[in-house]
C-alpha cells in the first residue's frame, strides 16, 4: 500500500488566553490522508478545524502552540522541524488556499508576482517558466484573459476570480498537499459552482491530496472523499462521504445533518380580513448613494423601481447575490437611506423617506436587526442596559417596570435572566444574535427587517434562531422582511419571496414554488446553484452556459 | 498619474489654502489680544502719554483691526511681510537669515534622524518580541518621556563641560570649515534627533506590525516566505502611508518647536526670533513667523498625504 501523504497522530494545540491561561483547543486528533485523496474537516466555528488545517503547514496563529503529537506531511514531521525547515515546506510540499482570497492578496502588488512568489522563494523554477505555468493554471481554472489577468492588482478582479487565483498561487509549485480553508464561503452560490468545478478538475489532474475545511455539508458532498467531523477540538466521527451523509453514527453528526435538512414552511394560520391593509406598501422606489444628479437620481443608483407589499402576519423573503441591493432595500424601508423617489407606506399611512422626519411611533413600529450582532451591540454596555435603552426611549419605562420588562424580553428570546449583567463579549454568537433580536422586540414592533441575521451563525444555532422567530411571530403577530442569500433559510420562514438582481425585483413568488416553479431565468439559475447533499450533484448539474454567463459576473 | 490622483492632490492644495487663510485670521486675532502696547515698550517708562499717542498714530496702530488684517493678508500674498515695529527693517530681511539657519539645522537633523529611525523601527518590527525589539522599544519610551531641555542640558554637561569636545554654544554664522560645522551642529542635532527619532521609531514599528497582522502577510508566511521577506516585500509597501504621516508630524516639530534647543545652544534660528519678537511686542514679526511655521507644517502633511495616495494602487492604477 502506498504511503499516506498526511499522517496526523495525536495532535495537541494549546492556546494562551488574554488572561494568560492555557487552554487546550485541539485535544489529540489523528487522521491520515492518502495520495490523491480529499479529506474534509467539518465542524462549527470554534471546533478547531482551521487550527488543525494550519498545523499541517507547521503554523499556528498568534497565541497558539503545537504542544504534542506527530504531523507527518510527505514524510516530514512538521512538529519537529525548525522554523526555517518548516518554511522550506510551506508553499512547496504543502500549500494553502485561504478563506478570503480578497484579504489574502497584498493590495499593493500585481497578482502575478504573488502567484509565482512561492516558486521564487523555493527556487523551484526560473521566473519565466513560473509565469508560463501560472498562465496555464489560469487557463485550467477557467479565468478570463489568462495571458494578462496577472498584470492586474487585486482590486481589479472579482471575488470569484481572486479565489481561483489563490488556487493557482497554491498550485504553482506542484505541492503534494493543498489545504483549503473554507475557500467558497465568501462567494455567491452561482460563483461557488464554477470555483468548486475548477478546484475539482485541477486536483484530479495533478493527483494532489487535499484537506478541505468547511462548515457547509453540501459543499463537502461535492468535493470530499472522506469526512472528519470535529467538535471542541476532537474528532467525533470519520468516514467516507457516503457513509457520513447517509448513515451517520455519532449523535453530533446526526444533529448536524438534521439542522441541514431544509424545513418546509407552514404559514401562520392567520385569518386575514377580506381586504387587509398591507403592513408595508412600497411603490416605485429608487434609491442609491452619492450626490444627486440632474434627474434627481443619486450618482450610484442601487434600487431601481422597487414595488412590493407585505400583508400583516406574513413574511417576505428577499434573496439575491451580494451587490443585488437587498440590504439597501432594508435601509430604504427603515429610513436610513431616504429613497430618491417613490413612496413607502406603513399600514396605509405614508412614511416620510428620511428617518429624521418620522414620528417616534412610526420608528417604534418598524425595527431592523443587523447581520453582525458583534458590531450592532455596544461592547461596553451590559445586556440589561442595551435592552433597557429602547424601553426608556419608546415607552418611557423606568426603574422597576423597565427591569421587569427586560426580564420578559430575555425570557422571550429564551435566555436566562442572569445574562443581563454580562457584556456582549461574554456571550456566544447565537446568544448575541438573540439579544440583537430582543432589542428590536423591546420596541413592540409590528414589522422586523432581518438583514442576514443567521448568515454568521453555525447551522445548528441558525436553525434555533429561525425556530425562535417563528414562535415569536405566533405570539406577537409580527411580520418579517427577511433578507438572506441563503435560500434554505428563506424557505424555512417566508411565505413569499422576492428575487433581486442588480437592484431590481426580477420575480415575486410563493416560497413553496421557488424550487420548481420559478419563472425568471435568473431565479432558476440561483435556485439550481444551491448545492445539494448529493455527491453527484455537481457532476450532474446542467446549467445553460448562456444564462450563466449573462447573470454571473465571473 | 491619472485624473483621480490629480483631483485628490488639487483637493489637498485647496484645503491647504483655506487652512492658511483661517490660520492667518487666528494668528492676527491672537496677536491683537496680546497684553502690552508696542509704543509704550519702544519709548520706555519715561515716555509721556502724548509721545506714546503720537507714536501709535505714526505706526498706524489706531486704525481698526479689520482693514489692518486685510492689508497684512494682501501684503503676505505678494511676499511683503511688512516692517518690524522695533527695528523698522523689512521683516523679510530679518527672517531670511534666521530661516536659513533653522532650515539648515532641520535638514541635517532630518538626514540623520529619518534613516536612523526608520531602520530601527522596521528592524524592531522584524524582530518583534526579541531582545533587540525590547531594548529599542524601552529606549524610545524613555527618550520620549525625558523632556528635551534635560537631554540638551545633559549633552552640554557631558560634551562641553566635562569632555570639552564640543562648544557649548552654536554660532552658525561663524563656520569656516567642515570640521567646525560638524562640531557646531553636533549637540543641537543630537538633541533633536533624540526627540524626533523616538516618536518615528515607535510609529513605524507599530505601522509595520499592524500590517503584519493582515491575512496577506499570513499568506506570505504560508507560502514559505521568511519573516524578513514578509516584512520588506509585503508589509512595508502597505505601511508607507502611516509611516509617511508619522515622519511628517515629527519633522514639523523641527520648524516651530525647536525653541528650547535654540535657546539652550543659543542657536540663531527662527523660533528664537519669534520668542524675542513676542517679548518686544513686535507683532508683524510674530505673525510672519507663525505663518511660516504653519506653512511648513501644512507642506509636510501634504507631502505625506501625497505619498499615501501614490502608495495605494487603487488610486494609482
CATH of the domain at B87: 1.10.3720.10
Nearest-CB residue to A91 (from B215, B224, B234): B224
pLDDT at B60 over 80: no
Which chain A residues touch B if contact means CB-CB below 8 Å?
A: 54, 57, 59, 61-62, 84, 87-92, 95-96, 98, 100, 103-109, 117-118, 121-122, 153, 155-156, 169
Please report the pLDDT score of residue A389 as a whole number.
92
B210: buried, middle or exposed (CB in 10 Å: 19+, 13-18, 0-12)? middle
Is B226 in Cβ contact with A87 (below 8 Å)? yes
Q: A158: which 3 cell numbers?
A: 472579482
Which pLDDT score is estimated for B131? Answer: 93
| Domain annotation covers residue B294 | yes
Q: Is residue B164 part of a domain?
A: yes
Q: Is the CB of B309 inside 8 Å of chain A's CB atoms?
A: no
B311 touches A: beta carbon within 8 Å: yes
The per-residue pLDDT for B54 is 83
Contact at 8 Å (CB) between A198 and A164? yes
Cα A444 to Cα A328: distance, rounded to the nearest angstrom: 24
CB pair distance less than 8 Å for B216 and A88: no
The residue with greater pLDDT, A273 or B186, is B186
Q: In this structure, is residue B71 part of a structural domain?
A: no
- Name the percent of chain B lying above pLDDT 90: 20
Beta strands in B83-214, from DSSP E residues, in sequence order: none
- Residue B211 contacts A, CB cutoff 8 Å: no
Residue to test with chain A: of B211, B223, B238, B311, most A Cβ within 10 A: B223
Strand order in the sheet with A226-231: A94-97, A177-181, A209-214, A38-42, A226-231, A234-240
Return the pLDDT at A263. Answer: 64
The domain total for chain B is 1
Q: For position A554, what pLDDT does the model report?
A: 44
- The answer for residues whose C-beta is within 8 angstroms of residue B19's C-beta and 6 or more apart is B294, B298
Residue A264: per-residue pLDDT: 61
Cross-strand pairs, A350 = A345
**Chain B residues touching residue A62 (CB < 8 angstroms):** 213
B130: chain A residues, CB-CB within 8 Å: none
CA distance A267 to A248: 31
Chain A residue at shortest CA distance from B312: A108
DSSP H helical ranges for A480-544? 487-493, 514-517, 521-528, 537-540
Residue B308 banded pLDDT, cuts 50, 70, 90: confident
User: Are the Cβ atoms of A87 and B225 closer than 8 angstroms?
Assistant: yes
3-state secondary structure A381-439: CCHHHHHHHHHHHHHCCCHHHHHHHHHHHHHHCCCCHHHHHCCHHHCCHHHHHHHHHHH
- B259/A404: higher pLDDT: A404
Q: Which domains does chain A have, with CATH numbers?
A: 6-260 (3.40.50.300), 310-519 (3.40.50.300)
Set of cell numbers at residue B84: 518690524
Q: Is B128 on the interface with A (CB under 8 A)?
A: no
Provide the residue range defining the domain that includes B304: 3-35+81-316
Nearest-neighbour CA in chain A from B238: distance (Å): 6
Question: Is residue B40 situated within a structural domain?
Answer: no
The count of C-alpha atoms lying within 13 angstroms of the C-alpha of A473, restricted to the half-sphere facing its C-beta, is 24
* pTM for this model (two decimals): 0.77
Q: Is residue B222 part of a domain?
A: yes
Distance from CA of B314 to the nearest CA of A (A): 7
Q: How far is B168 from chain A (nearest CA, A)?
A: 49
- CA distance between the termini of chain A: 42
Whether B53 is covered by a domain: the verdict is no
> Cβ separation of A91 and B222 shorter than 8 Å?
yes
Q: Is B63 part of any domain?
A: no
Name residue, grid cell 497558539.
Answer: A64
> Which stretches of chain A score pLDDT less than 50?
554
What is this model's ipTM? 0.75
Amino acid at each position: 500500500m502506498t504511503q499516506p501523504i498526511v499522517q496526523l497522530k495525536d495532535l495537541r494545540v494549546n492556546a494562551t488566553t488574554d488572561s494568560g491561561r492555557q487552554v487546550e483547543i485541539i485535544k489529540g486528533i489523528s487522521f491520515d490522508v492518502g495520495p490523491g485523496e480529499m479529506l474534509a474537516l467539518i465542524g462549527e466555528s470554534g471546533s478547531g478545524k482551521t487550527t488543525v488545517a494550519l498545523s499541517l503547514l507547521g503554523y499556528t496563529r498568534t497565541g497558539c502552540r503545537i504542544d504534542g503529537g506527530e504531523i507527518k506531511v510527505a514524510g516530514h514531521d512538521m512538529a519537529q522541524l525548525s522554523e526555517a525547515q518548516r518554511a522550506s515546506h510551506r508553499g512547496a510540499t504543502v500549500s494553502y488556499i485561504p478563506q478570503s482570497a480578497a484579504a489574502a492578496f497584498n493590495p499593493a502588488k500585481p497578482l502575478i508576482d504573488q502567484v509565482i512568489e512561492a516558486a521564487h522563494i523555493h527556487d523551484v523554477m526560473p521566473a519565466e517558466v513560473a509565469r508560463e505555468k501560472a498562465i496555464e493554471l489560469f487557463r485550467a481554472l477557467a479565468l478570463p484573459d489568462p495571458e494578462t489577468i496577472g498584470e492586474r492588482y487585486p482590486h481589479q478582479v472579482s471575488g470569484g476570480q481572486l479565489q481561483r487565483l489563490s488556487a493557482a498561487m497554491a498550485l504553482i509549485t506542484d505541492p503534494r498537499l493543498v489545504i483549503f480553508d473554507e475557500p467558497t464561503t465568501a462567494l455567491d452560490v452561482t460563483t461557488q459552482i464554477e470555483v468548486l468545478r475548477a478546484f475539482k478538475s485541477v486536483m484530479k489532474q495533478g493527483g494532489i491530496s487535499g484537506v478541505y475545511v468547511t462548515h457547509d455539508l453540501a459543499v463537502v458532498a461535492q468535493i470530499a472523499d472522506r469526512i472528519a467531523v470535529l467538535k471542541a477540538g476532537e474528532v467525533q466521527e470519520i468516514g467516507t462521504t457516503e457513509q457520513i451523509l447517509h448513515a451517520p453514527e455519532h449523535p453530533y453528526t446526526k444533529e448536524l445533518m438534521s439542522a441541514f435538512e431544509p424545513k418546509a414552511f407552514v404559514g401562520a394560520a392567520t385569518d386575514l380580513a377580506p381586504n387587509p391593509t398591507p403592513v408595508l406598501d412600497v411603490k416605485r422606489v429608487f434609491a442609491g448613494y452619492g450626490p444627486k444628479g440632474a434627474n434627481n437620481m443619486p450618482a450610484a443608483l442601487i434600487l431601481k423601481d422597487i414595488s412590493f407589499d407585505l400583508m400583516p402576519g406574513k413574511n417576505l423573503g428577499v434573496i439575491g447575490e451580494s451587490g443585488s441591493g437587498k440590504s439597501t432595500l432594508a435601509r430604504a424601508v427603515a429610513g436610513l437611506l431616504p429613497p430618491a423617489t417613490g413612496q413607502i407606506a406603513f399600514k396605509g399611512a405614508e412614511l416620510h423617506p428620511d428617518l429624521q422626519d418620522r414620528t417616534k411611533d412610526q420608528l417604534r413600529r418598524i425595527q431592523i436587526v443587523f447581520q453582525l450582532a458583534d458590531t450592532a451591540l455596544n461592547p461596553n454596555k451590559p445586556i440589561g442596559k442595551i435592552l433597557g435603552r429602547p424601553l426608556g426611549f419608546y415607552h418611557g419605562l423606568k426603574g422597576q417596570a423597565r427591569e421587569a420588562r427586560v426580564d420578559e424580553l430575555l425570557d422571550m428570546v429564551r435566555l436566562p435572566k442572569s445574562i443581563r449583567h454580562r457584556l456582549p463579549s461574554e456571550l456566544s454568537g447565537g446568544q448575541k444574535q438573540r439579544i440583537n433580536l430582543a432589542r428590536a422586540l423591546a420596541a413592540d414592533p409590528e414589522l422586523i427587517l432581518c438583514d442576514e441575521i443567521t448568515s454568521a451563525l453555525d447551522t445548528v444555532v441558525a436553525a434555533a434562531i429561525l425556530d425562535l422567530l417563528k414562535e415569536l411571530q405566533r405570539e406577537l403577530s409580527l411580520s418579517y422582511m427577511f433578507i438572506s442569500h441563503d435560500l434554505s433559510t428563506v424557505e424555512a420562514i417566508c411565505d413569499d419571496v422576492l428575487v433581486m438582481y442588480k437592484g431590481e425585483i426580477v420575480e415575486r413568488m410563493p416560497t413553496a414554488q421557488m424550487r420548481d416553479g420559478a419563472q425568471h431565468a435568473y431565479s432558476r439559475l440561483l435556485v439550481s446553484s444551491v448545492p445539494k447533499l448529493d455527491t453527484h450533484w455537481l457532476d450532474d448539474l446542467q446549467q445553460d452556459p448562456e444564462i450563466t454567463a449573462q447573470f454571473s459576473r465571473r | 498619474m491619472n485624473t483621480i490622483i490629480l483631483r485628490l492632490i488639487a483637493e489637498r492644495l485647496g484645503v491647504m489654502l483655506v487652512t492658511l487663510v483661517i490660520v492667518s485670521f487666528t494668528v492676527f486675532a491672537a496677536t491683537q489680544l496680546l497684553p502690552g502696547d508696542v509704543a509704550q515698550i519702544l519709548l520706555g517708562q519715561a515716555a509721556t502719554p502724548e509721545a506714546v499717542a503720537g507714536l501709535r498714530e505714526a505706526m498706524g496702530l489706531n486704525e481698526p483691526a479689520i482693514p489692518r488684517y486685510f492689508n497684512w493678508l494682501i501684503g503676505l500674498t505678494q511676499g511683503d511681510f511688512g516692517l518690524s515695529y522695533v527695528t523698522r527693517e523689512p521683516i523679510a530681511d530679518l527672517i531670511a537669515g534666521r530661516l536659513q539657519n533653522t532650515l539648515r539645522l532641520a535638514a541635517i537633523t532630518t538626514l540623520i534622524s529619518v534613516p536612523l529611525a526608520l531602520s530601527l523601527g522596521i528592524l524592531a518590527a522584524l524582530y518583534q518580541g526579541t531582545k533587540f525589539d525590547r531594548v529599542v522599544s524601552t529606549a524610545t519610551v524613555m527618550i520620549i518621556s525625558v523632556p528635551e531641555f534635560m537631554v540638551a542640558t545633559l549633552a552640554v554637561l557631558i560634551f562641553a563641560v566635562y569632555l570639552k569636545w564640543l562648544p557649548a554654544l552654536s554660532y552658525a554664522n561663524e563656520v569656516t570649515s567642515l570640521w567646525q560645522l560638524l562640531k557646531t551642529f553636533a549637540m543641537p542635532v543630537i538633541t533633536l534627533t533624540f526627540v524626533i527619532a523616538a516618536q518615528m521609531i515607535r510609529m513605524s514599528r507599530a505601522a509595520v506590525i499592524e500590517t503584519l497582522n493582515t491575512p496577506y502577510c499570513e499568506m506570505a508566511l504560508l507560502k514559505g516566505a521568511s519573516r524578513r521577506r514578509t516584512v520588506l516585500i509585503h508589509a512595508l509597501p502597505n505601511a508607507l502611508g502611516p509611516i509617511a504621516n508619522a515622519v511628517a508630524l515629527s519633522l514639523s516639530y523641527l520648524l516651530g518647536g525647536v525653541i528650547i534647543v535654540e535657546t539652550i545652544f543659543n542657536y540663531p534660528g527662527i523660533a528664537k526670533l519669534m520668542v524675542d519678537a513676542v517679548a518686544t511686542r513686535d507683532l508683524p514679526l510674530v505673525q510672519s513667523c507663525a505663518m511660516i511655521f504653519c506653512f511648513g507644517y501644512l507642506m509636510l502633511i501634504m507631502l505625506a498625504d501625497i505619498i499615501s495616495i501614490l502608495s495605494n494602487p487603487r488610486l494609482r492604477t
